[in-house]
C-alpha cells in the first residue's frame, strides 16, 4: 500500500536562550558548547507545555492540508516529555482540535520517537483499517533537565513537528525500515525516573528525576551502531547510499552527524543540521528538520529521504521513504 506525506508543520516556543545567556546561569560558554555540539541556542517554553506545542502543529497541519479535524482517523504523539501520564498528550491534542473520529495515543521511543511513530502510523494506513492520520513529535525537555547541570542542560531544547499521512495511489511511501533496541545499554541516557512510594515497600531512596547521560558512551553508540542500522535499511530497500537525496538524522550533536556523512561518503549537504538553532529536541528534531526543508523547497515530491533516529532506550530507527 502506498502512503503519502501530505504536509508537514513545526512549532517552537518564542523564547530563545543563547549559549551566552546560559553563561549567566551556569559556568559554561559558547566556546565550550558550540565546538562540542554544534549548538548556539535553543527554544525554551515559558508558558506552554508539550500539548500546546503539539496542538499548534496539529492546527497548522489541518490548515495547510484543507483537511477537517473530522477527517482524521488517528493522532499519535511521539514524546518522552508528555504534559502528564494521564491524560496523554495526544488525547489533549484530539480534544483541543475537536477531532471526533480520531483515536489518540502517545508513544515513547525517546529520540527515535519520530521514526518509530512514522512506522506505527504508516502501518495503520497500510493495514487498510484507516485512511488519514496525524503524527507529531513533541518535546518540552526543559522540564526534564537540571538547569544547574551544565553537562546536559546546554544540549536540549523544546519543540514539535508533525506530518499528515494518507493512503495514495501515487508511487510514494515507506520503502524500508530497520528498528533496533539496545536495552542493555539503557542506563546511558536517564531522565524522568520516579521512585515507587507504595505503603508496602518500606523506605525507598528517592530517585532524581533529571536528565543524565554518559556522553562518551552514547557518542560511540551513535557513531558505531547507527551506521550498521542505516546500512541494513539501505540493503532492505535495495538502494545505495548515493540513491538517497537527504538523510534527516536526529539533531543531537553535529559531530555525530558529520561522522555519519563521512561514514557513508556523502557530502554534508545531504545531512542537513539545525541543532545550531534548536538544540536536541528529541522526538521533535527530525520533524522540525523535515518541515524546514520542505518549506525551503529543498525536499520535494519524488525524492528519497532517510529518517535516522537514535538515543534513549537505547534505541535506533531508520526509515527510507519515497516522497
Ligand X SMILES: O=C(O)C1CCN(c2ccc(-c3cc(CO)ccc3Cl)cn2)CC1
| Active site positions, annotated | 111, 250, 280
Residue 256 binding ligand X, by CB under 6 A? yes
Among residues 305, 229, 276, 310, which one has the least CA distance to residue 8?
Answer: 305
Out of 253, 273, 281, 319, the residue judged to bind ligand X by CB under 6 A? 253
- Subset of 180-219 contacting ligand X (CB under 6 A): 189, 213, 215-216, 218-219
CB 80, min distance to ligand X, A: 8
Q: Return the number of the residue (78 or 312) whose C-beta is nearest ligand X.
A: 312
For ligand X, what does the binding mask look like between residues 150 and 169, x meaning CB under 6 A?
A: -----x--------------
Of 237 and 315, which has the nearer Cβ to ligand X? 315
Q: Name which of 155 and 288 has its Cβ closer to ligand X.
A: 155
Positive or negative: CA dihedral 208, 110, 101, 95: positive
Q: Looking only at residues 261 through 280 of this chain, which bind ligand X when binding is defined by CB under 6 A?
A: 280
Tell me the CA distances in angstroms from 22 to 12, 40, 61, one per residue in order. 19, 11, 33
Instruction: For the beta carbon of residue 68, count every other beta carbon within 10 angstroms.
Output: 11
Q: How far is the CB of 154 from ligand X (least distance, A)?
A: 8
Strands 315-322 and 173-181, by their bridges, are antiparallel
Compute the distance between CA of residue 44 and CA of residue 56 in angstroms, rounded to an integer: 15
Among 311, 313, 315, 321, binds ligand X (CB under 6 A): 311
**Minimal distance, residue 243 CB to ligand X, in Å:** 25
- Closest C-alpha among 45, 95, 89, 43 to residue 72: 95
The C-alpha cell at 13 is: 516556543
Name the residue nearer to ligand X (CB basis): 133 or 137. 137
DSSP string covering 167-199: EESSS-EEEEEEEEE-GGGGGGEE--------T
289 touching ligand X, by CB under 6 A: no
Q: Which residue has the cell 512549532?
A: 11
The residue with cell 495515543 is 105
Contact flag: residue 142 with ligand X (CB under 6 A): no
Given the complex with ligand X, which of 108 and 253 has the nearer CB atom?
A: 253
State which of positions 24-83 bind ligand X (CB under 6 A). Answer: 36-37
Quick one: 312 or 317, whose CB is closer to ligand X? Answer: 312
Q: Are 135 and 165 in contact (CB under 8 A)?
A: yes
| Number of amino acids touching ligand X (CB under 6 A) | 19
Q: How far apart are CA 146 and CA 212, in angstroms?
A: 9
Candidate segments 113-121, 168-176, 251-259, 263-271, binder of ligand X by CB under 6 A: 251-259
How far is the CA of 122 from the CAs of 58, 105, 224, 231, in angstroms? Answer: 18, 15, 28, 22
Torsion of CA 81, 84, 87, 89, to 10 degrees: -20
Dist CA 68 CA 70 (whole Å): 5
| Residue among 49, 282, 286, 319 that touches ligand X (CB under 6 A) | 282
At its nearest, how many Å lie between ligand X and the CB of residue 60? 25
How far apart are CB 213 and ligand X at their closest, in Å? 6
Which residues of this chain interact with ligand X, rule CB under 6 A? 36-37, 111, 155, 189, 213, 215-216, 218-219, 222, 252-253, 256, 280, 282, 310-312
Amino acid at each position: 500500500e502506498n502512503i503519502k506525506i501530505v504536509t508537514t508543520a513545526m512549532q517552537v516556543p518564542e523564547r530563545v536562550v543563547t549559549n551566552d545567556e546560559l553563561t549567566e546561569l551556569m559556568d559554561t560558554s559558547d566556546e565550550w558548547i558550540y565546538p562540542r555540539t554544534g549548538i548556539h541556542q535553543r527554544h525554551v517554553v515559558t508558558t506552554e507545555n508539550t500539548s500546546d506545542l503539539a496542538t499548534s502543529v496539529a492546527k497548522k497541519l489541518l490548515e495547510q492540508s484543507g483537511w477537517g479535524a473530522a477527517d482524521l482517523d488517528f493522532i499519535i504523539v511521539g514524546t518522552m516529555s508528555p504534559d502528564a501520564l494521564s491524560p496523554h498528550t495526544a488525547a489533549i491534542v484530539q480534544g483541543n482540535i475537536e477531532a471526533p473520529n480520531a483515536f489518540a495515543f502517545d508513544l515513547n521511543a525517546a529520540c527515535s520517537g519520530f521514526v518509530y511513530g512514522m512506522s506505527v502510523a504508516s502501518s495503520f494506513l497500510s493495514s487498510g483499517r484507516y485512511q488519514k492520520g496525524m503524527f507529531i513529535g513533541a518535546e518540552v525537555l526543559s522540564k526534564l533537565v537540571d538547569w544547574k547541570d551544565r553537562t546536559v542542560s546546554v544540549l536540549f531544547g523544546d519543540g514539535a513537528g508533525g506530518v499528515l499521512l494518507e493512503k495514495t495511489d501515487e508511487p510514494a511511501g515507506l520503502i524500508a525500515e530497520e528498528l533496533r533496541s539496545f536495552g542493555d545499554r539503557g542506563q546511558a541516557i536517564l531522565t524522568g525516573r520516579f521512585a515507587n512510594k507504595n505503603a508496602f515497600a518500606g523506605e525507598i531512596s528517592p530517585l532524581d528525576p533529571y536528565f543524565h547521560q554518559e556522553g562518551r558512551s552514547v557518542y560511540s553508540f551513535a557513531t558505531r551502531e547507527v551506521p550498521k542500522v542505516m546500512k541494513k535499511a539501505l540493503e532492505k530497500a535495495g538502494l545505495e547510499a548515493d540513491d538517497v537525496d537527504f538523510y534527516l538524522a536526529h539533531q543531537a550533536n553535529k559531530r555525530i552527524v558529520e561522522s555519519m556523512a563521512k561514514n557513508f561518503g556523502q557530502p554534508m549537504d545531504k545531512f542537513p543540521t539545525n541543532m545550531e538553532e534548536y538544540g536536541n529536541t528529541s522526538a521533535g528534531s527530525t520533524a522540525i528538520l523535515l518541515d524546514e526543508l520542505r518549506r525551503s523547497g529543498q525536499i520535494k515530491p519524488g525524492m528519497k529521504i532517510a529518517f535516522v533516529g537514535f538515543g534513549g532506550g537505547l534505541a535506533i530507527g531508520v526509515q527510507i521513504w519515497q516522497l
